[in-house]
Amino acid sequence: MAPDFTLDAHDSETAARAGRLQTGHGEVLTPAFMPVGTQASVKTLTPDELIAAGADILLANTYHLYLRPGVETVRGMGGLHRFMSWPRAILTDSGGFQVLSLSELRKVGARGVEFRSHLDGSRHMIAPEDAIRIQDGLGTDIAMSFDEPVELPAPAEAIRVAVDRTVDWARRGLDERRRLRDEGRGVMALFGINQGGVDAAERRRCFESLGGMPFDGFALGGLWVGEARALSLEMVERDVAMFPAERPRYLMGVGHPVDVIEAVARGVDMFDCVLPTRNARRGTVFISTGRLVVKNAAYANDPRPLDPACDCYTCRRFSRGYLRHLFTAGEILGMRLASIHAVSHMIGLARDARAAIIEGRFQAFRAAFLTRFQSGELLSPASVPVRRGSPGVTESASGFPRSGPRGSTEEMLDDVE
């Protein structure tokens, strides 16, 4: 029942690799970017739009779905796939991170986590066994071990305790899956999560235990939470060096295009992040040449698509000027169209990396990607030749105002939320 992971190609100059992960709901091509559907919905998008964007897997969240609508409702409706009408693979995060970051009055003990719901203040207790049973009840394809991330910076002692607990909970989660399988359930894959923050020794100590356990894949947890990019990437290198080559490797919560490509170069196979879609809903998207703040007034009369190099639905059909109008007017369609581009762009980037690895040109792809991404080309609205007229409209005497509001510069948002 464990997912079958096949490696199709290894890059000769880096640790990058291309693979295929078989699940109960189809094949996942790696490197893979997984859109995030926290509450059984990738915000603003339909399943068909995700498929059109190339998604073969998405992520949902155990903590959120456990609280609302509840696992019995999802199970009664035929499981998460049928509930949200998503025919392809689903990975569920175990909820460890959300319990830590969202719930109130949480008490972490050896048995598990006691907390109050961020929705209604109700009391709950989730033990690592519960986390596995809930994910099985949701009908996920890939479950994650219940872990304890630490809020950094943390004293060495706190990190050590969290690592010990993560290892203990990992073992208990695997035991629970074994019990589920004895009952004829628990068909899902289960990934372990390596913790230890940016303490290389603790991460090593964590994996010395985890690595011996029969997980179907391993995740890199607790990274990209505020530390410098170089340090994060160093942790990625160290973790990946310990992880078994034949299992998929998943870097949790990472989704900046540069980080994705740099982590792929270090041997990571799977990614998820809310950043691209969250930014999109606020009017900012990544394009091939950098970050575009389409809600800026500078784009009000720009007839080009978000990214002329992109062939997503949004870029095929709509202009920056129209998207800018939708954001200014508070129209939900703006969030939708930007989200479609954002998801297509990240999945496309992972697919392009995969093709480059298979064709033995990953280093050239990586260099070209970085140069282009940092170029800022296409971002300036200044040099746009204006389309004039249309079949149904005759030009006015005054014509189109060529000098739009062009002084404004890129508004730079923080990369990681």
Q: Report the interface residues with a copy of itself, using CB under 8 A.
A: 24-25, 39-41, 43-47, 64, 68-69, 72-73, 75-79, 81-85, 137, 139, 141, 183-185, 187, 300-301, 303, 313, 317-319, 321-322, 324-326, 328-329, 331-333, 335-337, 386-396, 398, 400-401
26 vs 214, which CB is nearer to a copy of itself? 26
We find the least distance from the C-beta atom of residue 142 to a copy of itself, in angstroms, to be: 12
Q: Which is nearer to a copy of itself, 45 or 59 (CB)?
A: 45
Q: What is the C-alpha to C-alpha distance for residues 66 and 94, in angstroms, rounded to an integer?
A: 10
Alpha-carbon gap, residue 350 to 8, rounded angstroms: 15
Number of helical H runs and strand E runs in the chain: 15, 16
Is 8 among the catalytic positions?
no
Q: Please, which residue, 292 or 300, has the CB nearer to a copy of itself? A: 300
Shortest spacing between CB 143 and a copy of itself, in angstroms: 12
- Say whether 334 sits in a helix, a strand or coil: helix
Find the shortest distance in angstroms from Cβ 404 to a copy of itself: 9
Nearer to a copy of itself, 54 or 79 (CB): 79
Q: At what angle do helices 128-138 and 156-182 cross, to 10 degrees?
A: 50
Cα 181 to Cα 159: distance, rounded to the nearest angstrom: 33
CB of 135 to a copy of itself, least distance (A): 11
Please report where in the chains the tokens 């008490």 appear, as a residue. 107
- What is the nearest approach in angstroms of a copy of itself to the Cβ of residue 284? 18
289, two tokens = 């040449």
Q: How far apart are the first and last CA of the chain?
A: 36
Place of tokens 């980080």: 259
Of 179 and 387, the one with the shorter C-beta distance to a copy of itself is 387
The residue annotated as part of the active site, out of 216, 272, 302, 307, is: 272
The type of residue at 9 is A
Q: What are phi and psi of 98, to 5 degrees?
A: -70, -35
Please state, in angstroms and as integers, the Cα–Cα distance from residue 379 to each residue in 6, 294, 325, 389, 413, following that order. 39, 9, 17, 24, 15
Whether 272 sits among the annotated catalytic residues: the reply is yes
CB contact at 8 A, 21 and 3: yes
CB contact at 8 A, 18 and 354: yes
Nearer to a copy of itself by Cβ, of 110 and 383: the residue is 383
Give me the amino acid identity at 99.
Answer: V
C-beta of 360 vs 401, nearer to a copy of itself = 401
For 119, the 3-state DSSP assignment is: coil
Q: Which of 93, 130, 199, 259 is catalytic?
A: 93
Residue 43 C-beta: closest distance to a copy of itself, Å: 6
Residue 292, SS3?
Answer: strand
Cα separation, 53 vs 323, in Å, equals 19
Give min distance, CB of 299 to a copy of itself, in A. 11
Catalytic residues: 93, 272
